[in-house]
C-alpha cells in the first residue's frame, strides 16, 4: 500500500478540499436528529408556528449544506481517483515496457495484462471509496456515539457493547481476505492466458475443428476462477450478515430498554426517536466501514502485485567499461565463446564464437529449437550471456546505453505485430521519417507494388493484427519497417517464411543494393535465404556444427548438405 500512498501525495491539496467537503456535510447530517429531538421536545410544546418554521428552516439548511458539501466531496474524490489511477496505470505500463525479456518471462504476459487492467481497477475502486466514505463513515460512527452518549449514556452503553465484537470480526475476516484475493488474481491471469491463446489461434482452432476442445480448456480455468472467487466471496461475505445481525440485535435491545426507561420516566419518547435515528446512522456507517475493509483486501492484494512490477530491479543495467573494457574493433560484430541458458538447467547456446565485418552478412540456419533466435536475442541484449562476451564495434553490449544500442538495430520477426492504422504509420512506427524514406523502404522490402494497388495507397487502413492483408504482405511491411531508418545492423528473424522463392530472391537482391554498409543477419529455415551470406552458421542443439560460405558448407557439413538437398535438390532460384 506504500505505492498507493506515494501516488496520492501529489494530490493531497485536492484531496483536502474533498475531505473538507465531506467533513462539513457529515457534521450537518449529525445535527439533524439532534435538532429534530429539540423540536419535538421543546419547540412543539410552545405551540409557536414561527418557532417551528424557524427550526424547520435550520433543518432544511443543514440538509442543503450536507447535500452541497457531499456533492463537492464526491466530485473531488472521483477526480482525484481518476488522476491517481491514470498516473499509476501509465507508470505501470511504462515499467512493463521496460522490463527485460527475462523479467517478462517470469511475470508472464497474461499476468502483466491483468495487473494493468484488473489490479489497477481494484486499487482505483478502493481509493475512490475511501475519498467518498472514508471521512463520512468514521465521522458518523464516532460523532453518533458521542452524541448518543450525551443524550442517554445508559442506552449508548448497550450500543457500544456491540462495537468491539464487530471490529474484531471485520479485522479477522479481512486478514484472511488478502491471500484469497491474491489467489483470485492469479486465476484471472490463467484465464487471460487461455483467452489470449485462443484469440490468437482462432483460425487454427476452427480449421482443426477444436472449438469444443478449447471450450473445455476455457471452462476448466473459468471453473477454477469461479471456485477461488467463491471462497473469497463466502469468506468476505460473512461480514455483512453477521454485522447486520449484531446491529439489529443492538437495536432490539435499545428499543426494549428504552421502552422501560420511558415508562419509568427516566427518558422521553423524543430522545428515543433521535437516539434511533443516530443508531441507524451508526449502523450505516458500520456497513460502510466493513465494505471498505472488504475492498481493502482486494486493493492490498492488487497493490502488492502492482508493486512487484514497479519495483522490479533493472536486471540489464549498463555496465562499466572498467569491468568490460573496450577492445580494438577488429569486427563489427563479435561473439567470443558465448554460452547461455534460459532456465540454468542446460545451455541453449554453448561456446558460440564468430566475427562479422561491417557491411557483412550472416546467415543462421538450423532445426527448430537449435538456438537461432536465441543468438539474435543475445546480440540485441534481450538477455545477458552466462559466459563469454558479445561486442559491437569493439564495445561489449553490456556497456552500451540502451537507447544507443537499440538505435543500432532494425528488426523484423516472423510473427511481429502490425496495429490498426495506416500502412504509412505502421512503417514509420513513431519515428521521424519522411514520406520518401517510407516509400523507399517499401520498395526495398518488395511491398511498394501491392501497397500502390490499394485505392488509398500508403493511407490504406490495416485492421487489428492486419487481418485484411495476406501473410506475405504482412512480412514485407515488417521488413519495410525494419529497413526504413537505415540501421547499422538489420536482423531478419525468419521474416521471409511466407514469401515465395522469387520474391525472396528479389528481396535479397534489393537488400544487397539498398542497404550497403548495413550488417545483415538473416535467420531462416530455407537455404535459399542464406546462401549468398558472407558467413553461414549451422546450429544444432545450441552448438555451431558448421560455419563458412555456402560452397564451403556444401563440401564440409553433412547437415547443411541434407537441408539443401531436401529443400531444392541442390538448386536455387536466383
pLDDT tens digit string along 50-70? 888 888 898 899 899 989 998
CA distances from 478 to 33, 144, 415, 472, 482 (A): 71, 67, 9, 10, 6
Rounded to 5 degrees, φ, ψ at 81 are -60, -45
Non-local (6+) Cβ contacts of 341 within 8 A are 347, 348, 386
537 touches 365 (CB < 8 A): yes
CA-CA distance, 474 to 446, in Å (whole number)? 11
> What's the CATH code, domain 2-181+236-309?
1.20.1560.10
pLDDT given for residue 365 in this prediction: 92
- Residue 536 binned pLDDT confidence (cut-offs 50, 70, 90): very high
Contact of 492 with 482, CB cutoff 8 Å = yes
Q: Are 156 and 254 in contact (CB under 8 A)?
A: no
Q: Taking 80 as the threshold, does the pLDDT of residue 239 lie above it?
A: no
DSSP 537-572: EEEETTEEEEEE-HHHHHHH-HHHHHHHHHHHTT--
Give dist(CA 396, CA 387) in Å, integer: 13
Q: Is the pLDDT of residue 447 over 60?
A: yes
Q: How far is CA 8 from the centre of its chain?
A: 20
Q: At residue 47, does pLDDT exceed 80?
A: no
The mean pLDDT value of the chain amounts to: 84
Cα(99)–Cα(103) distance, rounded to whole angstroms? 6
Give the Cα-Cα-Cα angle 358, 359, 362 (nearest 5 degrees): 95
Name the class of domain 333-568.
alpha beta
pLDDT in tens, 188-230: 878 877 877 777 677 677 776 778 888 888 888 888 888 888 8
Query: Which carries the bigger pLDDT value, residue 279 or residue 561?
Result: 561
Q: What percent of the chain has pLDDT over 70?
A: 97
Query: How many CB atoms are located within 10 Å of the residue 453 CB?
Result: 9
Model confidence at 488, pLDDT cuts 50, 70, 90, reads very high
The grid coordinates of residue 436 equal 520518401
Least confident of 259-263, 480-484, 501-505: 259-263
* Best mean pLDDT range from 86-90, 143-147, 238-242: 86-90
∠512-513-517 over CA atoms, to 5°? 70
Cα angle at 521 between 515 and 527, to 5 degrees? Answer: 110
Angle at 485 between CA 497 and CA 414, to 5 degrees: 15
How far is the CA of 450 from the CAs of 444, 460, 461, 483, 494, in angstroms? 13, 11, 14, 18, 21
The pLDDT score that the predictor gives to residue 379 is 92
d(CA 467, CA 320): 45
Summarize the confidence of residues 268-285 as an average pLDDT.
Answer: 76
Per-residue DSSP letters for 137-169?
HHHHHHHHHHHHHHH-HHHHHHHHHHHHHHHHH
Domain ranges of the chain: 2-181+236-309, 333-568
Residue 398 has pLDDT above 70, yes or no: yes
Give the mean pLDDT of 502-506. 87
Reduced 3-state DSSP string for 420-442: CCEHHHHHHCCCCCCHHHHHHHH
The helix (run of H) or strand (run of E) holding residue 522 is strand 519-524
Residue 362 has pLDDT above 90, yes or no: yes
DSSP type of residue 26: H
Q: Give pTM, 2 decimals.
A: 0.73
Inform me whether the pLDDT recorded for 420 exceeds 60: yes
Q: Which of 77-86, 172-181, 366-375, 510-519 has the lowest mean pLDDT?
A: 172-181
Q: What is the mean pLDDT of residues 34-44?
A: 78
Vertex 352 angle, CA 348 and 358, to 5°: 125
The distance of Cα 155 from the centroid of its chain, to the nearest Å, equals 52
pLDDT recorded at residue 203: 66
Amino acid at each position: 500500500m506504500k505505492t498507493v500512498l506515494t501516488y496520492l501525495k501529489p494530490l493531497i491539496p485536492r484531496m483536502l478540499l474533498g475531505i473538507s467537503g465531506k467533513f462539513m456535510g457529515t457534521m450537518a447530517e449529525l445535527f439533524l436528529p439532534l435538532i429534530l429531538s429539540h423540536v419535538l421536545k421543546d419547540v412543539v410544546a410552545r405551540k409557536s408556528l414561527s418557532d417551528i418554521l424557524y427550526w424547520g428552516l435550520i433543518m432544511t439548511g443543514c440538509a442543503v449544506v450536507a447535500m452541497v458539501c457531499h456533492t463537492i466531496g464526491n466530485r473531488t474524490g472521483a477526480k482525484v481517483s481518476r488522476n491517481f489511477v491514470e498516473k499509476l496505470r501509465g507508470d505501470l505500463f511504462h515499467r512493463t515496457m521496460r522490463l527485460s525479456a527475462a523479467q517478462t518471462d517470469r511475470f508472464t504476459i497474461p499476468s502483466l495484462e491483468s495487473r494493468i487492467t484488473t489490479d489497477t481497477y481494484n486499487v482505483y475502486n478502493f481509493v475512490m471509496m475511501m475519498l467518498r466514505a472514508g471521512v463520512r463513515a468514521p465521522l458518523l460512527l464516532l460523532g453518533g456515539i458521542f452524541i448518543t452518549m450525551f443524550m442517554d449514556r445508559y442506552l449508548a452503553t448497550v450500543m457500544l457493547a456491540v462495537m468491539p465484537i464487530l471490529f474484531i470480526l471485520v479485522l479477522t475476516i479481512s486478514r484472511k481476505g488478502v491471500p484469497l484475493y491474491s489467489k483470485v488474481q492469479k486465476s484471472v491471469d490463467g484465464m487471460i492466458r487461455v483467452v489470449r491463446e485462443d484469440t490468437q489461434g482462432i483460425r487454427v482452432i476452427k480449421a482443426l475443428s477444436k472449438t469444443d476442445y478449447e471450450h473445455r480448456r476455457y471452462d476448466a480455468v473459468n471453473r477454477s476462477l469461479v471456485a477461488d472467487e467463491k471462497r473469497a466471496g463466502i469468506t468476505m461475505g460473512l461480514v455483512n450478515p453477521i454485522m447486520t445481525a449484531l446491529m439489529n440485535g443492538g437495536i432490539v435491545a435499545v428499543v426494549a430498554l428504552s421502552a422501560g426507561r420511558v415508562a419509568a420516566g427516566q427518558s422521553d419518547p423524543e430522545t428515543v426517536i433521535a437516539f434511533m435515528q443516530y443508531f441507524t446512522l451508526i449502523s450505516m456507517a458500520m456497513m460502510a466501514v466493513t465494505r471498505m475493509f472488504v475492498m481493502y483486501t482486494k486493493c492490498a492484494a492488487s497493490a502488492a502485485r502492482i508493486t512487484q512490477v514497479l519495483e522490479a530491479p533493472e536486471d540489464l543495467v549498463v555496465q562499466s567499461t572498467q569491468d568490460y573494457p573496450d577492445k580494438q574493433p577488429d569486427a563489427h560484430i563479435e561473439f567470443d565463446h558465448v554460452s547461455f541458458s534460459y532456465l540454468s538447467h542446460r545451455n541453449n547456446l554453448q561456446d558460440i564464437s564468430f566475427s562479422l565485418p561491417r557491411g557483412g552478412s550472416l546467415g543462421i540456419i538450423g532445426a527448430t529449437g537449435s538456438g537461432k533466435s536465441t543468438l539474435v536475442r543475445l546480440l540485441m541484449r534481450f538477455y545477458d550471456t552466462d559466459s563469454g562476451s558479445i561486442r559491437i564495434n569493439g564495445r561489449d553490449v553490456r556497456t552500451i546505453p540502451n537507447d544507443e544500442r537499440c538505435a543500432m538495430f532494425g528488426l523484423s520477426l516472423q510473427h511481429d505485430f502490425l496495429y490498426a492504422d495506416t500502412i504509412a504509420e505502421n512503417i514509420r512506427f513513431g519515428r521521424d521519417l519522411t514520406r520518401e524514406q517510407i516509400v523507399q523502404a517499401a520498395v526495398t522490402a518488395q511491398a511498394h507494388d501491392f501497397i500502390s494497388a490499394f485505392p488509398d495507397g500508403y493511407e490504406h487502413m490495416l485492421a487489428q493484427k492486419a487481418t485484411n492483408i495476406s501473410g506475405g504482405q504482412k512480412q514485407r511491411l515488417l521488413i519495410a519497417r525494419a529497413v526504413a531508418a537505415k540501421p547499422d545492423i538489420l536482423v531478419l528473424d525468419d521474416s521471409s517464411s511466407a514469401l515465395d522463392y522469387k520474391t525472396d530472391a528479389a528481396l535479397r537482391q534489393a537488400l544487397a543494393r539498398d542497404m550497403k554498409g548495413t550488417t545483415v543477419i538473416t535467420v531462416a529455415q530455407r537455404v535459399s535465404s542464406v546462401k549468398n551470406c558472407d558467413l553461414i552458421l549451422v546450429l544444432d542443439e545450441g552448438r555451431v556444427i558448421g560455419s563458412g560460405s555456402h560452397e564451403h558448407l556444401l563440401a564440409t557439413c553433412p547437415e547443411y548438405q541434407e537441408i539443401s538437398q531436401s529443400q531444392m535438390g541442390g538448386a536455387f532460384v536466383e
